[in-house]
A = this chain, B = another copy of it.
Amino acid sequence: MADRLSPTSYVVLGTIALRGPSTSYDLKRAVGRSIGYFWHFPHAQLYSEPQRLVDLGLLEAETEEGGRRRRTFRLTDPGREELRAWLAEPTPEHFQMRDIAELKLFFNEVGEPGDVERLAREQVAAHRERIAVYEDMQKRYASLDAVAKRMITLRLGLEMEHAALRFWSSLLEETDRA
């Protein structure tokens, strides 16, 4: 069974476990405002994956009789067990940093000397802005007990953003000096 489950599967199972019975639209919003900052999950997949998980017996679904006829998914016992087994097992994968800016930096010799400075300047600004967003989130949610313990991922996000900012800032200084 576990070999049929992808990161998207676990994100769907996990999000429903955390927040309770959810529609795909709920999932889209919840994921987009949390882990979606680090790893984007396409909207269409958050509609198709729950149905697949229903077919695998890990979720069950019910559809509203009237109104918007929304389709709400809830975790089954096997679904919860799959999620818990995944959480308990070793994690061989190393993280991937998919960063276009880094690719550009790697190939910078091929371009113009000014390219790197522009890139670094823009990255410094982008990372500063993202840090501001995360810090604002920390402030806004710190007093909500229900979500405060989920801020731990935001801490990792901030740590990584500060690291990137450090790197691009020092690169910017180096290009300024050259």
Q: How many copies does the complex hold?
A: 2
Q: What's the Cα separation between A166 and B171 when bound, in Å?
A: 22
Q: What's the Cα separation between A130 and B86 when bound, in Å?
A: 24
Which label, helix, strand, loop or mixed, suits the secondary structure of the A interface?
helix
Which A positions have Cβ atoms within 8 angstroms of B? 7, 10-11, 14, 17-18, 34-35, 38-40, 80, 83-84, 86-88, 90-91, 93-112, 115, 118-119, 122-123, 126, 130, 149-150, 152-153, 155-157, 159-160, 162-164, 166-167, 171
26 CB contacts below 8 A, A to B, read A10-B107, A17-B107, A18-B107, A34-B106, A35-B106, A38-B102, A39-B97, A83-B107, A83-B110, A84-B111, A84-B112, A91-B101, A91-B104, A91-B122, A95-B99, A95-B100, A95-B101, A96-B97, A105-B152, A105-B156, A159-B164, A159-B167, A160-B160, A160-B163, A160-B164, A162-B163
